[in-house]
């Protein structure tokens, strides 16, 4: 079965610093990978997704992620953190075959310090 592991339940960065949120996946077949963001008291919204096209994926709000098969990773980055980036971020995986719903990681809470 597929799964994702997010390293670090809480990451704190200074405003303007690099954001790096880590996600490693486990899958027996080629996966589709997603990053979702959840702002306080809201539902989840899609940041970006990897669907086996380009390995470097650009999303909304300046975020991007790179699929690295050799490392089974899909880390999320943003060059310069903004206060509005403070939220919880979830990595998720599904398979490119069959009816397999999204499986989520446990989430990483990002704090941005002024």
- 106 part of the interface to another protein, by CB under 8 A: yes
Which residues have CB under 8 Å from 58's CB, separation 6+? 48, 64
- 103 part of the interface to another protein, by CB under 8 A: yes
What is the spatial distance between Cα 77 and Cα 95, in angstroms, rounded to a whole number? 23
Footprint (CB under 8 A) of another protein, residues 2-31 = 6, 9
One residue of 12, 26, 51, 61 binding another protein per CB under 8 A: 51
Closest to another protein by CB, 6 vs 73, is: 6
Counting residues that bind another protein (by CB under 8 A) gives 29
- 96 part of the interface to another protein, by CB under 8 A: yes
**Maximal C-alpha separation, the chain:** 45
Estimate to the nearest angstrom the gap between the alpha carbon of 20 and the chain centroid. Answer: 10
What ranges make up the beta strands (E) of 15-106? 19-26, 31-38, 44-50, 56-58, 64-68, 73-78, 87-95, 103-104
One residue of 35, 50, 63, 74 binding another protein per CB under 8 A: 50
Residue 41: CB atoms within 10 A of its CB come to 5
- 94 part of the interface to another protein, by CB under 8 A: yes
Question: What is the contact surface with another protein in residues (CB under 8 A)?
Answer: 6, 9, 32, 34, 36, 41-46, 49-52, 90, 94, 96-107
């Amino acid at each position: 079965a597929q799964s994702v592991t997010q390293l670090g339940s809480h990451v704190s960065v200074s405003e303007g610093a690099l954001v790096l949120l880590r996600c490693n996946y486990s899958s027996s077949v080629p996966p589709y990978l997603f990053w979702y963001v959840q702002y306080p008291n809201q539902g989840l919204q899609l940041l970006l997704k990897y669907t086996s096209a380009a390995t470097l994926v650009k999303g909304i709000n300046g975020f991007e992620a790179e699929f690295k098969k050799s490392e089974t990773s899909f880390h999320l980055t943003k060059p310069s953190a903004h206060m509005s980036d403070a939220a919880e971020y979830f990595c998720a995986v599904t398979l490119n075959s069959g009816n397999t719903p999204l499986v989520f990681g446990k989430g990483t809470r990002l704090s941005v310090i002024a």
